[in-house]
Amino acid sequence: MSADREKVYNRIAMLRAERGVSRRDLAAALDVHYQTVGYLERGEYSPSLHLALRIADYFEVPVEVVFSLNPFPRLGATETTNDGSRS
Amino acid sequence: MKPRNRREERMLAVLERETPRYQTRKGRRRLVVAAAGCLGLMWAAAVVCWYLAPSTAAMVTTFVLCGLALVVGAQLWGMLHIVTRGTASLPEHLLDERQVRERLSAHPIAHRLTLLLLLAVFLAVGLALQEERPEVPSAAAVVLLFALMATVWSLPMLVTAWRMADPPPEEEAV
């Protein structure tokens, strides 16, 4: 399988910045190397289900808020429905 | 990733040292090439022993080449430990899942390279034995064995260092 097909998008960097958590603090809380957090944020490493659940648990959000198989919409981006209204 | 004793704590502390020159993929690969060069010196010593031993020239050349390989190689080995953050060398309980995965993906490649190396040595020794020589010097066999062992031992580390991606840049304080 190609790496593209296995790509998992995440919002770790955004959540981390929002909560004011450093990479090293997050790594210490998750018991991983701090570089692993960087690789996760850059999308160069897809975590195991266990690590993904622990990350979601750390930020106290559902796992689908942090991870997705499709790119997350950019902040401020809105989708327009067929009838012209914004969602 | 919890160290179980002071020795492991010290090992982890050493591995956190920053070596900006060699943190990038290019820098790491330069270290790998230099380490491969050190191993090459040991192989060169084996060839010298094969053709010149027993003689003073062979002995001096072997000691100089192997000594150089050991001294420079030990420095490079330490640097490779640091730039790979111990991925290829630390006990598994000191690694996280990404590092374990990196180590596991490097081992099959190192294994294939070992097989190729053994085949190449087998062919080279077979060809060399066809030449008219009364006997193979025992020094050559010993140095060849050491060169082979050092190479096989080093391959997982070299493959890991060669393949690792550039580490993420250090962030500014949050």
CA distance B1 to chain A (A): 6
Separation in Å, CA of B85 to nearest CA in chain A: 9
pLDDT at position B16, please? 81
Instruction: Provide the whole-model pTM.
Output: 0.83
Range with top average pLDDT, A6-10, A27-31, B131-135: A27-31
Which residue of chain A has the CA closest to B2?
Answer: A31
Residue B173 is predicted with a pLDDT of: 46
**Looking at beta carbons, which residues of chain B come within 8 Å of A41?**
168
Query: In terms of CA atoms, which chain A residue is nearest residue B83?
Result: A35
pLDDT for position B151: 96
SS3 state at A11: coil
Cα–Cα distance, B163 to B35 (Å, whole number)? 15
Tokens of A73: 């919409």
Residues with Cβ within 8 Å of residue A17, at least 6 apart in sequence? B174
Which chain B residues are Cβ-neighbours of A44 within 8 angstroms? 165
Cross-chain residue pair B171–A23, CB shorter than 8 Å: yes
Residue-wise pLDDT for B54-92, tens only, equals 888 889 999 999 999 999 999 999 999 999 988 988 888
User: Is some CB atom of chain B closer than 8 A to the CB atom of A7?
Assistant: no
The residue among B170, B138, B140, B151 whose CA lies nearest residue B24 is B170
* pLDDT recorded at residue A83: 53
Chain B residues close to A54, C-beta within 8 Å: none
A49, B105, B128, B163, B165 from B110: Cα distances, Å:
28, 9, 26, 12, 18
Q: Are A67 and A45 in contact (CB under 8 A)?
A: no
Nearest Cβ partner for A35 among B1, B85, B173: B85
Structural domain boundaries of chain A?
Answer: 9-67
Letter string b/e over residues B1-40, b meaning 16 or more CB atoms within 10 A of that residue's CB: bebeeeeeeebbeebeeeeeebbebebbbebbeebeebbe
A73 touches chain B (CB under 8 A): no
The Cα of B6 is separated from the nearest Cα of chain A by a number of Å equal to 18
- Give the pLDDT confidence score for residue B23 in this predicted structure: 82
Q: Are B96 and A20 inside 8 Å of each other by CB? A: no
Substitution target from A35, A45, A50 for chain B, most B beta carbons within 10 A: A35
**pLDDT for residue B55:** 86
For domain A9-67, the CATH architecture is Orthogonal Bundle (1.10)
Name the residue among B1, B167, B168 with its Cβ closest to that of A31. Answer: B1
Mean pLDDT, residues B2-7: 84
Distance from CA of A8 to the nearest CA of B (A): 15
Judge whether residue A18 has pLDDT over 70: yes
Least confident of A55-59, A79-83, B11-15, B70-74: A79-83
What is the interface pTM, i.e. ipTM, of the complex?
0.78
- Region B94-123 average pLDDT: 95
Q: How many CB pairs under 8 A join A and B?
A: 46
DSSP 8-state code for residue A80: B
- Every domain of chain B and the residues it spans: 21-163
Pick B168's closest partner by Cβ from A17, A42, A47: A42
